[in-house]
Amino acid sequence: MANEEMSQIIGVDEELKALELQDNLRADKYPLKEYNNIGKRGVRRIDGYEKASGYAEYTIDVQLPGMLHMRFFTSPYPHAEIKSMDTSKAEALPGVRAVLRYDDPELPRVANLGGHFDSREPVLPKVAHFQGEEVGAAVAADSEEIAEEALTLIDVEWEERPFVLDPEEAVRPDAPLVNPEKFPDGNLEDKTVEEHGDLEKGFAEADKVFEFKVTRTANTWAAPERPCGVFRWNGEYPELWVKQQRPHVSKRVVASWFGGIPMNKIQVHCPYQGASFGGWSQFDWNMAGHYCAAVIAKRTGRPVKWKFNRREDFYGGEMDEGVYYFRVGAKNDGTITAVKAKSVMSNQQYPFGPITHFADNTKVPNLYGERLRARINKGPTTAVRCEQNPNTLPFSLVFDRVAAELGLDPIEVALKNDGCEGEDMAWLNEQKAAMGFQVRDSLRECVEKGKAAIDWDNKWHVAGTKKLPSGKMHGMAFTWTHEWDDSAGSGEMAIRIERNDGTASILSCRADCGLNAETAYCQVAADELGMRLEDVFYRQQNDPGFFAMTPDSSTNMAINGFAIRNAARILKRKILEAVTTPKGMSQRGSYTPAFPGLKPEDLDIKDSVIYAKANPSNRMTLAEFVGLSGPGGPMVFQELADAERTAFSPPLFAHGWQVQIGTYKEHHRPRPRLCRQAHFIEVEVDTETGEVEVKKVVTVNDVGKVVNWEGCEGQQYGGAYMGIGRAWGEEVIHDPMTGVMLNGNLLNYKFTTMLDIESIDTELVETGMGYGPYGVIGIGEDIGTVIPGVLIPAIHNATGKWVDELPATPERVLKALGKA
């Protein structure tokens, strides 16, 4: 949609249209003159005390008078159909208030359950397609314990079906159907191909061509706070508490139920989220709990809380589970001439192939990527900690294999191949200049910071050549890719000036899963409004009619940053107009402007004080202006209130908006990504036991412009643990004979903790080449997504042997060494 069309739809005035919309996808043409809070270290988190003290309320903590507790029946088999069900014993148990069954006449066979892809699914399925799937029945009781006991009293006659757990086996013609209800023609959901250049020419130009295969087993999406929710009817209108990243989707979906409910009659609450990183909110069944709770709440007249137990939270996982095949050609100097990749993915939700990142940020001209999506009898895999997982793993493995095969420093190989869409850095630098950015070499800046932090020049060595006095082998590795901001979704944010004291409240509902974004938005609003940071506050839990971009990709600051910046700029202009313009009558007679004889452009605001630029002693605090006794008091406040109601930014990034820069040959791709990230790791490997010790991790991210240092560094620090864990020990294990999950708990599933990594360094680069306000670009998801690909190369650098299956458990390390 053109900027002009969008402006007409959202009603933004001509000044804002010219100032904001036409330039917000390029270098920031209207930067702040002074940063007082943006980029300031040591800013106190606005949610810090609540969370540190234990007072913070999460969705799972919500308690309402008379509330029932609902639990789901789950399948003991990986593939089976309910032939009959007897719930009479469960219904007779004291304390049970309702049992909802799959054959209940009030439940539709399928419904719009509001997943990320908005498909239609059974509300309570009678066929299970993986062990542990919620099927057949839901029980609501006075306590969770009673509901749990009632589930054990349900008698079911099952018809077991054949099952498949391996994606390559699933796509064979003779494989049993994994989900005949949805995929009756076979288990291959689809096949996608991405091509660039002339592959055979690329291999012919190579000095060396080699092939390899890597298998990636399943990680879970389990988080500290389990999937849950609360539903209550206020008469005929619903109120719900959600635990997911998209409260706006929940509201829209609930509105479509039960004959259609007006959106303005639905109350949504989004309390703090316990590490909700995608996963549950991404797939289709995530609203079924609310649907069942709504039906039971209507029947019983009581609010209903539903929740999963810990094991049930383990059934879905990261979307990079699968098998990867590679054929790579390179010149002796490290120039990659061709990459051919194929991936066979398990239950993958998003259509990502294995070569996307090569196209996004390298000059490699000849690429071929084939992606097969296979359906297997395990839980869904989706964007848990990031949807880029199937892209970043192949990218890391190919670059490090090229370096190892040629005996080169992997950093040298990275710098030699940096670029975009098959074009080199000279071309990419031309694009930067054309968009008004200062031309900087982001990857090189990231590399230099990382090398210094980990002492790369002194510690890196040829594979398998450094044995330590302890007898362990020393290894170093490096990986890189671009930062991503995705430009997906939209952000709506409002700012209200409070009447009595002139403080500012940000209004917008969103999921806060602990990333400190809310503090960052306050920093932006404070600097743009000219207010003290302590005078700006943001409470995201309730629905004020505006919904910000929620953390379902890395776009939060790149999108919401524009929304809050524009809201503040409009509101500031309206405030300055209000203090310089007569506004009707007051109780004391005609109203005299707070700054008579001056125009809005003659004034400014700093530290929550309005002042005349030419005479700073001519001043008035915002509190004095809007206070009960001030010239902006109740009789004239309506004018300022009118200004506040316009002080929000409707979606500046409508779905699908992308910027095309330059000529993109056969493929129309998003704008070039200009900012890079680089990650380094140092390990020690015990070749007798296969144990790997992670001694140091260094993460370096070019975020364009740091808004909140602690938020960015928290992403890096936490992401390092997530990334190492996913490559090192996190693995959901299924019994191949029964299809049953064997380690759906926090004891046998090995999350990486603070005791497992000796040292983590976080480094940030600010090139200003992001597409968000002030040149920012997203950092969320990055580190936990990219770092898993660097552990295998580190083990190879230590031992000279490649582990060909992730995670790199001691057993697999010993297998690579020929000792198992």
If one compares 15 and 752, the residue with the highest pLDDT of the two is 752
Structure confidence at residue 632 (pLDDT): 45
- What's the average model confidence in pLDDT over 371-394? 90
Please report which residue ranges of 435-529 form alpha helices under DSSP H.
Answer: 442-454, 456-459, 517-529
- What's the average model confidence in pLDDT over 119-143? 93
Residue found under tokens 């309390």:
271
Contact 304, 298 (CB under 8 A): no
Work out the percent of the chain whose per-residue pLDDT is above 90. Answer: 68
Lowest mean pLDDT among 216-225, 326-335, 395-404, 586-595: 586-595
**CB neighbours of 439 closer than 8 A, spacing ≥ 6?**
429, 432, 433
DSSP letter at 662 equals S
477-501: pLDDT as tens digits: 999 999 987 555 677 888 888 888 8
720-776: pLDDT as tens digits: 999 999 999 999 999 999 999 999 999 999 999 999 999 999 999 999 999 888 999
**CB neighbours of 774 closer than 8 A, spacing ≥ 6?**
28, 31, 32, 38, 561, 704, 705, 707, 768
pLDDT interval class at 402 (50, 70, 90): very high
Alpha carbon of 295 to those of 66, 108, 139, 697: distances in Å?
A: 16, 12, 12, 50
Residue found under tokens 């036991």:
689
524-560: pLDDT as tens digits: 999 999 999 999 999 999 998 888 887 766 778 888 8
| Cα 244 from chain centre | 11
Q: Is 209 exposed, middle or buried (0-12, 13-18, 19+ CB in 10 A)?
A: middle
pLDDT of 660 over the 60 cut: no
pLDDT of 363 over the 60 cut: yes
Lowest mean pLDDT among 61-65, 163-167, 351-355, 647-651: 647-651
Amino acid (one-letter) located at 481: T
pLDDT of 651 over the 80 cut: no
CA-closest candidate to residue 353, choices 170, 195, 220: 195
Lowest mean pLDDT among 7-11, 627-631, 807-811: 7-11
| Cα 464 from Cα 365, distance rounded (Å) | 32
pLDDT of 669 over the 80 cut: no
What angle in degrees, to the nearest 10, is found between the helix axes of 442-454 and 410-417? 170
pLDDT of 664 over the 90 cut: no
Please provide the DSSP assignment of 733-776 as one string. Answer: -B-TTT--BS--STTTS----TTTBS-EEEEEE--S--SSGGG-
Q: Is 635 exposed, middle or buried (0-12, 13-18, 19+ CB in 10 A)?
A: middle
pLDDT interval class at 637 (50, 70, 90): very low
CA-closest candidate to residue 648, choices 770, 548, 510: 548
Mean pLDDT of the chain, nearest integer: 87
Structure confidence at residue 221 (pLDDT): 83
As given in the structure block, the two tokens for residue 774 are: 């002030």
Structure confidence at residue 20 (pLDDT): 45
- Other C-beta atoms closer than 10 Å to the C-beta of 645 total 10
168-199: pLDDT as tens digits: 999 999 999 999 999 999 999 999 999 999 99
pLDDT interval class at 27 (50, 70, 90): low
- What's the average model confidence in pLDDT over 212-236? 93
pLDDT of 45 over the 80 cut: yes
Mapping DSSP to helix (H, G, I), strand (E, B) and coil, where does residue 112 land?
strand
Contact 640, 579 (CB under 8 A): no
| Cα 193 from Cα 352, distance rounded (Å) | 10
If one compares 643 and 509, the residue with the highest pLDDT of the two is 509
692-701: pLDDT as tens digits: 999 999 999 9
What angle in degrees, to the nearest 10, is found between the helix axes of 561-578 and 634-646? 150
| Cα 783 from Cα 515, distance rounded (Å) | 14
Contact 752, 9 (CB under 8 A): no
| Cα 721 from Cα 728, distance rounded (Å) | 10
Query: Do the strands 317-318 and 381-382 form a parallel or antiparallel pair, or are they unpaired?
Result: parallel
Residue found under tokens 């989004």:
270
